Structure 1
Amino acid sequence: MSGILLADDEPAFQRLTGAWLRGLGHDVRVVGDGDAARAAFAEAPADLVLLDLAMPPHHDPEAGLALIASFAPAPVIVMTGHADHALALKAIDAGAWDFLAKPVDPDILRIVVARAMERAGLARELAALKARDTGAEDMGLIGTTPVMAALRDLIRRVAPTRLPVLVLGPSGTGKELVARALHYASPRADRKLVPVHCGAIPPELLESELFGHLKGSFTGATSDRPGLVETAAGGTLFLDEIGEMPAVMQVKLLRFLADGSFQPVGARAPRAADVRIVAATHRDLAACVADGSFREDLYYRLKGVVLRTPSLDERPGDVPLLASVFLRRASNGMGQFTPDALGWLTTRRWPGNVRELRAAVECAAALAPQSATGVDVGATDLAFAVGDPVADLPTIGTPQTLEEEIAALEYRRITETLARTGHNHTHTARHLGLSRVGLLKKLDRMGLR
């Protein structure tokens, strides 16, 4: 049984086409105007939308074209009695999957619907596979320290719920990666994740970006435009740096969080969208509430669940593993750190957190000398990449004795192999010629478990 939303204002067409599609085994919902179609899809997204372009309240194909984006990611088959080549091109350009002229030939409709439903099914399977196979580590939440294990565990527990999530943490600690992990581990994984940086959009444009606008609502509004809330319908809206949101927009967002309704700029009637909100900020929102720059009621609406991304200072044991992963990606698997580089990485503080570490490794990999085995990244390369002085490098974590040299080599081999195997202990032990128990003992000794 497959879900189809049929949006058409002709009662005879509704009755005959709806009955015919149900006879083919489809579950069909029928609506008679554009606003009802948008509301029905927001309430329960369909697998396929059959859309008449000239429906109430506008009876204008251009208004129908503006509706198409509201039904993403479902394929939309446009139907109209005002068919011409130019209109068909406009419909495809607006995101329609196919275009049919009325009166619709039943055999053609059957074939087009079957192909569209097959496409929708493949998209769902792909999203399900992505959600199942893309673990937190692949989303960038790499680390073996207890604080990272606890964060991944919370994500797995919170993702299936409908609760809003507030992600707090310093800049560069992966707050957007947490939002992505939440989305792809949730039942909404086959829908869109729509990110918006609240501080990057001018305050006077933020309302239109979030909630959309109607044609003529302000200078330059030459057509209806859906907002990011409608684009994210059925999925997740990630509000990055929510602490930068202007006070007037905080009020409008509060209303949307309260009942799921919003009003595009220039619209007279509210609309609805089923969207999960994940917000993030590096600010202390409790302090912002205390000084009056952030609404207290919005703060408590957003913090259904609070997740905190730790700084690298809180998980220094993850630095070698993170650096090894970034080097492997930057060098297509053909890079390695010298022993002095590993020592330098673990003794330096990283105030820019994971973002700074990744940039340093990528830059060093581009500058480091090539060898027969690939790129050899040394401490000098890393120090140059971040602009640190290099005069003291020989004394920073550089092995001085044979025992230290062997320990550094062992540490490097283990961390690099862990990174290659996705931190699978059994596979790592096999690659290194160790027993699993022997590997775990070494990890305990090195502080890597």
Structure 2
Amino acid sequence: MTMPRPASVLVVDDEPRALETLRRTLEDDFEIFTAGSGAEGLQLLEQECVQIVVSDQRMPGMSGVEFLRSVRARWPDTIRMILSGYTESEDIIRGINEAGIWQYLLKPWRPDQLLLTLQGAAQLWRLQQENQRLTLELRASPEQLSLRVATLRQKARAQAGFDGLTRAPDSPLNAVCTLAAKVAGHDLAVLVTGESGTGKEVLARAIHYASARAEGPFVVENCGALPDTLLESELFGHRKGAFTGATESRTGLFQQADGGTLFLDEIGDTSPAFQVKLLRALQEGEIRPLGSPRPVAVDVRLIAATHRDLEADVAAGRFRADLYYRIAGMTLHLPPLRSRPQDVAPIAEAILRAHAPAEARLSPQALACLRAYPWPGNVRELQNEVRRALALAEGPMLGAELFTQRVREAGGTFPVVSPGDAPPGILRQHVASVEAQLIRDAMERHHGNKTRVAGELGLTRVGLRMKLAKLGLTEP
């Protein structure tokens, strides 16, 4: 089977060190182009097919918003993002309205978060292309496409059901899912609580697809990621000219979710001022877009989520009591992964099936390690650990030695040698020496081309990179 080409990313920044750091971070997963200015970026876009553009905001000559506005006009399908150390709300709003940016990322950035965001952007680009293709097919054969859409919708409902919360037969989640299934059939506001990474959005999506609103949209917003001004515009929408930078009207998420479900994550992180506006919208069943002379009626089921103890916040005056009682028609709590160790193995194996060939499997020692670790990052951290092991694996069996040190230590797992073998220190040195020589020879044959070296040695580019670092080899 032919592997898909990596998504192409253009990074624009006037600081050479920033460009080099971003290149090194992203080059194993994406095809990277760099430019030191907006003008240079536009020139490169004339020559290369680029799917994602990431630009700094404050640059000499042409700002990030001005550059991305030109990109939008000439290459509208390109996913546009800003990576900046400045958080002025006016810059953010201008970026969204004028340049149609998909994400406004803040410096300093974390490599894992940046990679996940760009992977999401690549997926969005692929979906846009698929949507365009389906639109053309619809014009040619509407009956056939309608049947395909119905099939895909049914498949989405099946995948997003309560089985999407992978768990063991005796899992504490079973009681939560049973209660959620009962609540789903009633148009009741639901509050989902639990630590970050426990699957709150997955549960909310399952409730939506088990409800009478399943044919309607399921719209998601993270309230903790945006300042009040931008959050209000995102949820309620605005009219052209409502504020500086509002060069076009925007439909808010309440209207986009009309007839369906609106999922507001991290609602406990909103300010008291915004809570008043949200309460009014929920009580009256209507919203008023910024700059609009009249309200708009909306029919939305609200599911909210938070990692905070909202009852304690209400008692302390940090969260409005009237809003709390409005959103907590039913409260469902998702326990952390450390309190349900029986779920670790099924979740790890589900992650493996989603990202690896059918023959890949975890060794008994690896599973024991995963069960012993407390998982402060919950399912999200477990997913990263399994995918890391997959990147480093050189065969279908994933052993405990592929996990990070903290996971290995939690399970009491360290490299071992059979009794009849050479002393551990000598054996490790010999293996490392052989590995190093094999890699050196391959690097020389392929003139330092890491993609070809990794292919010859049966590694991923990430796996090769980690081998180079571990063995102290420098890249030519």
Q: Cα distance, 1:207 vs. partner?
A: 0.8
Aligned ranges 1:285-304 → 2 under 5 Å: 285-304=310-329
Structure 2 counterpart of 1:266, one-letter code? G
Give TM-score scaled by structure 2 length: 0.55
Seen in structure 2, the aligned counterparts of structure 1 residues 120 and 228 have a Cα distance that, compared at 3 Å, is farther
Aligned ranges 1:43-442 → 2 under 5 Å: 123=149, 126-128=152-154, 130-132=156-158, 134-137=160-163, 139-370=164-395, 374=396, 376-384=397-405, 389=409, 392-394=412-414
Q: Cα distance, 1:117 vs. partner?
A: 9.3
1:65-105 Cα distance to aligned partner (Å, 9 max, x none): xxxxxxxxxxxxxxxxxxxxxxxxxxxxxx9x99xxxxxxx
Contact 1:340–1:379, Cα closer than 8 Å, also in 2: yes
CA distance in 2, matches of 1:171, 1:361: 18
CA distance in 1, matches of 2:264, 2:226: 12
Equivalent residue, structure 1, for 2:12:
none
Q: Cα distance, 1:332 vs. partner?
A: 2.7
Structure 1 counterpart of 2:277, one-letter code? K
Contact 1:123–1:190, Cα closer than 8 Å, also in 2: no
Q: Cα distance, 1:294 vs. partner?
A: 0.6
Give TM-score scaled by structure 1 length: 0.58
- Higher deviation after alignment, 311-320 or 231-240: 311-320
Q: Secondary structure at the match of 1:199?
A: helix
Seen in structure 2, the aligned counterparts of structure 1 residues 329 and 276 have a Cα distance that, compared at 3 Å, is same
1:340-368 Cα distance to aligned partner (Å, 9 max, x none): 11221222221211111111111111112
1:307-346 Cα distance to aligned partner (Å, 9 max, x none): 1111112211111111111122221323111221122122
CA distance in 1, matches of 2:260, 2:266: 19
CA distance in 1, matches of 2:320, 2:401: 48
Structure 1 counterpart of 2:271, one-letter code? P
Q: Secondary structure at the match of 2:233?
A: helix
Work out which structure has the larger RCO, using CA pairs closer than 8 Å and 6 or more positions apart in sequence.
1
Seen in structure 2, the aligned counterparts of structure 1 residues 197 and 391 have a Cα distance that, compared at 3 Å, is closer
Q: Mind listing any 5+ residue stretches in structure 1 that lack a counterpart?
A: 1-94, 99-111, 401-449
CA distance in 2, matches of 1:129, 1:352: 29
Q: Secondary structure at the match of 1:280?
A: strand
Seen in structure 2, the aligned counterparts of structure 1 residues 122 and 253 have a Cα distance that, compared at 3 Å, is farther
CA distance in 1, matches of 2:333, 2:284: 27
Equivalent residue, structure 1, for 2:112:
none
Structure 1 counterpart of 2:153, one-letter code? A
Q: Cα distance, 1:382 vs. partner?
A: 1.6
Contact 2:171–2:342, Cα closer than 8 Å, also in 1: no
Structure 1 counterpart of 2:401, one-letter code? T
The runs of 4+ residues in structure 1 deviating greater than 2 Å are: 115-135, 139-146, 386-392
Q: Cα distance, 1:132 vs. partner?
A: 4.9
Structure 2 counterpart of 1:135, one-letter code? G
CA distance in 1, matches of 2:155, 2:408: 43
CA distance in 1, matches of 2:194, 2:410: 31
Q: Percent identical across equivalent pairs? A: 44
Contact 2:373–2:407, Cα closer than 8 Å, also in 1: no
Contact 1:132–1:185, Cα closer than 8 Å, also in 2: no
Structure 2 counterpart of 1:383, one-letter code? T
Q: Cα distance, 1:369 vs. partner?
A: 2.2
1:257-306 Cα distance to aligned partner (Å, 9 max, x none): 11211111011211111011000000000111111111000000000111
CA distance in 2, matches of 1:395, 1:119: 55
1:95-122 Cα distance to aligned partner (Å, 9 max, x none): 9x99xxxxxxxxxxxxx99x87997787
Aligned length: 285
Q: Cα distance, 1:150 vs. partner?
A: 0.9
Contact 2:237–2:290, Cα closer than 8 Å, also in 1: yes
Q: Cα distance, 1:130 vs. partner?
A: 3.6
1:143-165 Cα distance to aligned partner (Å, 9 max, x none): 32341111221221111211010
Q: Mind listing any 5+ residue stretches in structure 2 that lack a counterpart?
A: 1-131, 420-476
Q: Secondary structure at the match of 1:393?
A: coil
Seen in structure 2, the aligned counterparts of structure 1 residues 117 and 205 have a Cα distance that, compared at 3 Å, is farther
Contact 1:141–1:178, Cα closer than 8 Å, also in 2: no
Contact 1:180–1:193, Cα closer than 8 Å, also in 2: yes
Contact 2:261–2:303, Cα closer than 8 Å, also in 1: yes
Give the CA RMSD over aligned residues: 3.2
